[in-house]
Amino acid sequence: MNEKRTENFRRNEDLEWLLKDINSLLAEPEQKIAVPDKQNFPVIFVVGALRSGTTLMTQWIASTGEIAYPSNMLSRFYQAPIIGAKIQRLLTDQKYNFRNEILDFTSSQNFQSNNGKTQGALSPNEFWYFWRRFIKFPDDIDYLPDEELMNKSDWKTMKKELIGMMDVFEKPFSLKGMICNYNIKFLNQIFDKAIFIYVKRNPYTNMESILKARERQSGNINDWYSFHIPEYTHLIKISDPIIQVAGQVYHINQAIQNGLENIEENRKIIVPYEDFCDNPKKYYEQLTEKLFSQGCKISREYYGETRFSITRTEVDPHFISCYEKYVEEYENRN
């Protein structure tokens, strides 16, 4: 996997082996932890196309202090996240800071990231190792129909561990759910309390951002980046990378919109990236309302950022024509 990554994005193999060793030691004790039968807090899934603003959204949610999330520290306990949550609280929560013995961790957010990667022990993590334990897709495509996923995934353990983490943090828990962009119905069925935050970006600037991410990740714009969506086998045959990412953005957004269509209103928030950057307080108010409707109260006072800078405000006309060309040809075929 590392051979197609630039140096900055290659895995640290020594770290991988150490984490594997630690997690294998903790996996069995983790399974013995008792968790509440009832889900007391909602799980918040952030969904959207790659490079649509989902990382900024998770950072912003984390910055409120009202909602728990998978930090870079917690992510290292991917086979024992409840134990990891307890360790994180022990080391970082002021409630347990006896005589200022440990003041080395910070929960401040700088809203910076590099292809979804953040810096800092308590900065949000994508948590993909955790997801991959339970969601077993075929080798070539990151997708199964909802019914098959229900039968083939270990969703009961996943649900137990998420409930366990919320029990430790005593808060709702927010995480990226983009691995299930095409399986929103599946997630909605599993959890008694859930909110889906769909971040939707201008497709043309979204395309440009994906191409820039490809270049950072692998050194060129031609190599595929992110999950192998169901349309991957069709898209990978397209030689023009701009048209290829146009299809990637189009299909992901279509899948999410279709998945959310029958989800109850109190379980979803649609967030245009550009509007969110202009007025994040507006979406905090929406989030508090959705949580309250599911029996969860958080502070209604908003102390966060008043706005964020919108990246890539100018649209390249060539990107527009490529996107429209792809959509027109695809919809005419279908």
Per-residue pLDDT of the chain in tens (334 residues, 90 and over written 9): 444 667 666 778 999 999 999 999 999 999 999 999 899 999 999 999 999 999 999 999 999 999 999 999 999 999 999 999 999 999 988 888 766 766 666 555 667 666 556 778 889 999 999 999 999 899 899 999 999 999 999 999 999 999 999 999 999 999 999 999 999 999 999 999 999 999 999 999 999 999 999 999 889 999 999 999 999 999 999 999 999 999 999 999 999 999 999 999 999 999 999 999 999 999 999 999 999 999 999 999 999 999 999 887 888 999 999 999 999 999 998 7
CA nearest neighbour of 227 among 10, 20, 43, 47: 47
Distance (Å, whole) CA 85 – CA 76: 11
Residue 123, helix vs strand vs coil: coil
- Phi then psi for residue 325, to 5 deg, are -65, -45
- Beta carbons of 77 and 23 less than 8 angstroms apart: yes
Q: Which helix (H) or strand (E) holds 125?
A: none
Alpha carbon distance 298, 261 (integer Å): 27
Q: What is the pTM of this model?
A: 0.92
Q: How far is CA 176 from CA 92, 153, 198, in A?
A: 22, 18, 10
Q: Give the CA distances from residue 296 to residues 35, 127, 174, 212, in Å, rounded to whole numbers and listed in that order.
A: 19, 24, 14, 39
Q: What is the pLDDT of residue 108?
A: 58
SS3 call for 280: helix
pLDDT at 8: 66
The per-residue pLDDT for 119 is: 75
Q: Are 291 and 212 in contact (CB under 8 A)?
A: no
Whole-Å CA distances, 65 to 45, 76, 201, 304 = 17, 21, 25, 10
d(CA 131, CA 172) in angstroms, rounded, equals 18
Distance of alpha carbon 329 from alpha carbon 112, whole angstroms? 37
SS3 325: helix
> What confidence score (pLDDT) does residue 107 get?
57
Q: Say how far apart CA 213 and CA 115 lie, in whole Å.
A: 6
**Closest alpha carbon to 323 in 239, 234, 206, 220:** 206
H-run or E-run covering 249: helix 241-260
Please give the pLDDT value at position 133: 95
pLDDT for the residue 109: 65
Q: Which helix (H) or strand (E) holds 271?
A: strand 268-272
Quickly tell me which residue has 């007025």 as its tokens: 279
Residue 3 pLDDT? 47
Contact 291, 172 (CB under 8 A): yes
Burial class (CB in 10 A: 0-12, 13-18, 19+), 35: middle
